Structure 1
Amino acid sequence: MLKAHVAAALQGAPGDAGRDVLPYAMQVSVWARWVIALAAAVLLLYRPEFWFPDEPARPFLLIALVAVNGLAHARLLLRRPVTRAWLLLLSVADVVLLSAAIGIGDGFDRFVFAAYYPALAMFVLVFPSVWLALAWTSLTAAACAATTLIAAGGLDFEAGDERALLGRIAAMYVLALCVLLITRLERERREAALVRERRLHQERADLSQEVHSTIAQTAYLLEQGIRRARGLAGESNEELTAALDASWSLSTAAVWEARRLADSGRLFEGRALRPTLWGHCETFERVTGVPVSLSQSGTEPPLPVETRGRLFAIAHNALTNAARHAQAGAVTVRLDFWADRVRLSIADDGVGLPDGYQDRGRGFQGMAADAEALGGSLTVQSGNGTPGTTITCVAPLPKPEPGG
């Protein structure tokens, strides 16, 4: 039974919400060991009479700790996968080194036992299984008790050694139980939040499909009908022509906004940013008659849906500005991906922007807010004797986890 729990804990469930804890847990444990190693080195150098010549093995334990932790730290720096098996190996190394440190000491007179507690808490954080936590706590307690008794040469009942030993062991179980309960509660909340987020994404994708099948199609047919009516009316009635032109403009805007909802929903279905933008640019060209070109440099990495959604929104608003206000004859959209950032630029050859454009409407305010939410910046180049407008957003790419 325990073997099955160990195998399940090491493998983890598909889509486990706790997988993102592993790189962070390894980072914390690595830096905690460096602090312990530094403190041990200072003590060895500052008070050598505490260990030499009676305990010459202590420097070798420090070397072993540095070697094990250095290997783990190198794995993090090289962005190698962080697995539960690696963290289990580090936990085993912690128990072995701590037990050895107690074993070569005086048993009850050493404070090294206190390091068992953070090592135990880290194990329970990574392996939130009741049976596995109890088994590991029992193993750790047995190692602590055995090495303490061996080093001390038995129990001194007059000195109250049995109470000290029982207190240390009881504290281990209490600590493991508290960390286990808190960890399980937090993970249940996290998993529930992920389920809600996935449900919302699915609802958004379903809504976009519904918009595509109903509203967008209806708006398109309405726009085509008004266009045909405008052609039939000709110039015979100026008032009718003006009314049809206004209705045509409104219907075109309605088609464009409906397509925004439909196209952006594909992001929630997992589609990458570039093909989604390309489809939206084709829609723009079909609706407005303004030709659009899309180019890309670099390879698009897997991006969170929020990053893709906000970049899509910036591109949509920039295209809307080019169609409604810039009187553009052509638009160029470009995506540039680097290792640590992405740049989205939309350039048109229109008449440029008027003074105070930032305060007119919500388009530019929304683009600036989206760029800021991504941790990036939005720049607008227009005027200064140069025709057209270029809107550029530069945002950092989300850093992949060391285990990812």
Structure 2
Amino acid sequence: METSELLDVLSADGLRLLDSLDPYDSKADVVRTVSELRAAGHSPGMVAAVLNQSKLRAKAGPKFGAFAERMLFTEAGLEQATRLSVAALHAGRFRDAGLASVADLGCGIGADALALAALDLLVTAVERDEVTAAIAAYNLAPWDNVTVVHADAVDVPLDDVDAVFLDPARRTAGHQNTSRLRDPADFSPSLEFAFGLGERMPTGIKLGPGVDRDLIPAGAEAQWISVDREVVELGVWFGAAARRGIGRAALVIGDHGTAELTGPADSEDVETGAIGQFVYEPDGAVIRARLIGDLARQIGARMLSTGIAYLTADKLVTTPFARAFTVIEVLPFDERTLRRELAARGIGTLEIKKRGVDVDPAQLRKKLALKGRASGTLIVTRVAGRHCALLVERA
């Protein structure tokens, strides 16, 4: 979003027009809508700006719920923003630790600052990008316990706050078509700066879930969070914002609510064993946190193969930390055999899961020449070190 477009939206006429639009419909005739708004006397820039915001508000619904209906966004800001349900958990940490004031450094469009303010904490929301800071100011205007500051995070004095939350920018500058930064030294602010704050005061740092685990400082709490089986972030916590005795955590959010698996450090894997009646696929947060061994002991399971994140057991145990499958057939990983067995069962739609095997599911599916009305799931992995294909169904 350019500054001129933002000014159009933030004007009284722009906000009035935006709020007057019908809910965004991807199937609507956009050309007709533009023509009608232009005919009503609105400028081309104004029309483009409000229609883009209407689209972004609809896209933001899953992250922000009803709040999205009154917020403003940029493409990049929305993509990088914390889901409100997760931001509420961040805020709860600070409140429960008795920390009354928090500086949100790199606040983006204001998702975490919004959650902090909703818990009556005093918030200083800092954003160095001018357009994004203006949007954050608009989104946070309903809360008088928030101050939005347009500044670089590294330049903001922190003597008057109890704690800090950072979401370092992990993309190139801009509001759309940005690319991911691979080197943590290029994050804004850098990880060195962020971790340095953690040594001085209660601090929470939001990172991408795939960040190099070797970078996580000793003594910090690392919590991976998944929402509807998608791992969305890694939170690294220091001081009073961290929980005593917890070094690794996997928080799983879904239809079941929230569930968490924790440990003082990476857990030791259990032994491998024969394939049982059931195979378990651990949630990605459990895998990232390396708590597979603790999960296996919790449900009475064993590893399919050393270093492979699939578990197996003879009894079905319902757990929010893994998806369970009933084993129908154990087959050799041989295309001719698989083609014959799947054809015999009339399987024309096949979900292919893989782990520990170099195979392209799309190419394999094509080679299997599937035909039929039945559907199935194939797990291609290693069992006791050997390549194997498991025909399974969801338990």
Normalised TM-score (structure 2): 0.23
Q: Which has the higher contact order (CA 8 A, sep 6+)?
A: 1
Higher gyration radius (CA): 1
